[in-house]
Structure 1
Amino acid sequence: MTIIAQRKPVEPDAEDLSRAIASWQLVERHRAGDREAFAEIYKRYRIIVWRFIYLRCSHVPTVEDLVQDVFVNALRRLDKYEWQGRDLGAWLVTIARNRLSDHYKSGRYRLEVAGGDLLDADRVDDSREGQPESALDQMVNASMLSILGQLSPEQRECLELRFLRGYSVSETAAVMGKNDGSVKALQYRAVRAMARLGAESGLLTEDMLG
């Protein structure tokens, strides 16, 4: 008989729980008729939603439209929102993900893949063509892309959010549906894996990434 181990749910730490409670209080204020509550929700979470969408669709006018759609959708559904033990930002990111999926399926716009700016490094800069430094840079960039490609999708997303997009640990946690502690652990494993792969390729030494 095969026994399948079940993953235990990740327990929120004190900081995560504090943010979840604070966001739930905003929901309760909104339900009680406080008109300022949703304005606070918008102010607090707009940048997280905006960054999440921009990471996948860098056409700014489209991003702005989609962000507005997300918050209009959230306003309509907020009365049915139930306590989940997580920051409200995770719920808003889920709405954003679904809205992006609908947007992509519509075929009206091209959805850019996450990490697109990394791929830009593979393009030749005509102004430096023929220079030894340019060729060396391209070789290094190609090697780094190869290393990133060997990480797990979850590790790549974590590094893209943290280091390419400048997300905080909390913002990354909201986007990825994790708590802060899980993101820190994932980031550590991803950096160590990247250092190991870089050392094997001769591009990095394991102490270069800390």
Structure 2
Amino acid sequence: MPSLDIAGLISKVALGDRAALASLYSAVSPKLFAICLRILKDRADAEDALQDVFVKIWQRADRYAATGVNPNGWLAAIARNQAIDMIRARRPAADTIGDEGLDIADGSPDPEAVSIGLGEGRRIDRCMGELAPERADAVRNAYVEGLSYQELAERYSVPLNTMRTWLRRSLLKLKECLER
């Protein structure tokens, strides 16, 4: 379904149109389910996450128009954030020492989320190939696997702020490449 139709469905959902929600579900649930499944790695958890995603869409559809982003990117960000929230909720209390230890990428749409919405996987792969392999891997782990900045910093044995800088610069390079 074209982005314009999805944006229209989201607008109708914002007005409380249940039929529009059903149509939106039919159009985008496979893609959103795949995002949840990729992050959660468990079908039952991904199904639960997808249900929560559509509850959030129902509740937040009125906020979509103010964002000015691609509707598929907006929906993908909700799915990704919901899956990450479920992973965070599973962690034992001992793992939640402080919010600093659970730093997660900003939930606002980023170049990758917009690109996922546009469905331009080949362009993304080409642009990811222009990044240093270690940086490309860090981007995948952060934005596909849902690892936090802290987890990535530990994995690559770099300071937390260095990891944030890697990801920010990598996303800027991806954005530049995708705009070419």
1:92 to 66, 72, 75: 75
The residue correspondences of 1:70-85 to structure 2 (distance < 5 A) are 70-82=53-65, 84=67
Question: What is the CA-CA distance between 1:32 and the residue it aligns to?
Answer: 4.8
Question: What is the CA-CA distance between 1:81 and the residue it aligns to?
Answer: 2.0
- For the Cα contact (< 8 Å) 2:10–2:61, is it kept in 1? yes
The separation in 1 between residues aligned to 2:22 and 2:38, in whole angstroms, is 24
1:176 to 113, 118, 136: 113
2:113 partner letter: M
1:62 to 26, 31, 45: 45
Question: What is the CA-CA distance between 1:103 and the residue it aligns to?
Answer: 1.2
- For the Cα contact (< 8 Å) 1:50–1:63, is it kept in 2? yes
1:64 partner letter: E
Equivalent in the alignment of 1:51: 34
1:67 partner letter: L
Question: What is the CA-CA distance between 1:38 and the residue it aligns to?
Answer: 0.9
Q: How many residues align?
A: 114
TM-score (norm 1): 0.44
The residue correspondences of 1:121-160 to structure 2 (distance < 5 A) are none
Question: What is the CA-CA distance between 1:189 and the residue it aligns to?
Answer: 4.6
The separation in 1 between residues aligned to 2:39 and 2:14, in whole angstroms, is 32
Equivalent in the alignment of 1:101: 84
Q: Deviations over 1:119-169 (max 9, x none)?
A: xxxxxxxxxxxxxxxxxxxxxxxxxxxxxxxxxxxxxxxxxxxxxxxxxxx
- For the Cα contact (< 8 Å) 2:46–2:83, is it kept in 1? no
Give 5+ residue unaligned stretches, structure 2.
93-110, 132-180
- For the Cα contact (< 8 Å) 1:53–1:63, is it kept in 2? yes
Equivalent in the alignment of 2:126: 188
Q: Deviations over 1:87-145 (max 9, x none)?
A: 42211211122212221111259xxxxxxxxxxxxxxxxxxxxxxxxxxxxxxxxxxxx
Three-state SS of the structure 1 residue aligned to 2:49 is: helix
The separation in 2 between residues aligned to 1:65 and 1:29, in whole angstroms, is 24
- For the Cα contact (< 8 Å) 1:52–1:175, is it kept in 2? no
Question: What is the CA-CA distance between 1:84 and the residue it aligns to?
Answer: 4.8
Identity across the alignment (%): 24
Equivalent in the alignment of 1:30: 13
Q: Call closer, same or farther: CA 1:192–1:101 in 2, change over 3 Å.
A: closer
Question: What is the CA-CA distance between 1:55 and the residue it aligns to?
Answer: 0.8
Three-state SS of the structure 2 residue aligned to 1:177 is: helix
2:44 partner letter: P
Q: CA RMSD in A?
A: 3.4
Greater share of residues in helix: 2
TM-score (norm 2): 0.51
Q: Call closer, same or farther: CA 1:29–1:190 in 2, change over 3 Å.
A: closer
- For the Cα contact (< 8 Å) 1:48–1:89, is it kept in 2? no
- For the Cα contact (< 8 Å) 2:3–2:71, is it kept in 1? yes
